[in-house]
Homo-oligomer: A and B are copies of this chain.
Amino acid sequence: MASATPSQPPVDKRRQILDAAVHVFARQGFHTCRVSDIADEAGVAYGLVYHYFDSKDEILDTLFSERWQVLLDVIAEIERGDDPVREQLRAIVSFIVDSYVHDPDLMKVIIVEVTRAANTFGRTHLNEIREAYEGIARIVERAQRRGALRSDISPQFAAMAFYGAIEQALTGWIFDLLPTGAGDHDDVKRYIVEAICGGLELRAGEASSAPAL
């Protein structure tokens, strides 16, 4: 029987190292931080990092794959449902934005060190990354088929534009270029769906809902 009397809840050192790595990577960047920084932040000995991970790379690989899999599951779940496409896309935005709000450092690391890192980790995880784009593209394509979205924009491209808008919004937060107050995260969720689904132009017969001045 496992752990009959865990007198002390055994702290999961492996988890501690991963969590510490998130903060160190976010603060200093993967390439500029030292493994000893991670060990220090985690409050464990240097060597223990190598007891749980083969290399510094493997730490980042693990962080990325763990979290990205959750995103892939969410997309798959949404895809399986029958909601209107606008609602499906809103759910994806919502999940990603909430992920950021819940753990900004982790999302920062994922975006900065992986999804755009064309030579290193981005290449390694290309299939996982691609899977997300493809899921979104399928959602768009299906909506096009049933006439809910225009069909003169390729679903693959639409997925990229959509995901790109989201990632750029997070980047705006990371760089402190977009406001990060209380309502701002919800605003951005709405903005993204509105901008991508509805478009920036006024719809015929619609008044601008906040006329200038």
Contact = CB atoms under 8 A, between A and B. Distances in A.
Interface residues of A, number: 73
Contacts of A100: none
Nearest to A27: B119
Interface string A112-150: 100011111011001001100100000010001111111
A16 interface: no
Contacts of A204: 203-205
Contacts of A211: 147, 151
A131 to B, nearest CB: 11
A167 interface: yes
4 nearest A-B pairs in the assembled complex, by CB-CB distance: A199-B199, A164-B168, A29-B119, A161-B165
Interface of A: 27-29, 31-32, 86, 108, 111-112, 116-120, 122-123, 126, 129-130, 133, 140, 144-154, 156-158, 160-161, 163-169, 171-172, 174-175, 177-178, 187-188, 191-192, 194-206, 208-213
Given A151-B209, A164-B166, A168-B168, 20 more contacts: A112-B116, A112-B117, A116-B116, A123-B175, A147-B202, A147-B211, A148-B201, A149-B200, A150-B198, A150-B202, A156-B177, A158-B200, A160-B172, A161-B169, A164-B164, A164-B167, A195-B199, A196-B196, A196-B199, A203-B204
15 contacts: A28-B119, A29-B120, A123-B175, A129-B175, A140-B200, A144-B208, A145-B212, A150-B201, A152-B208, A156-B172, A161-B195, A164-B164, A165-B168, A168-B168, A196-B196
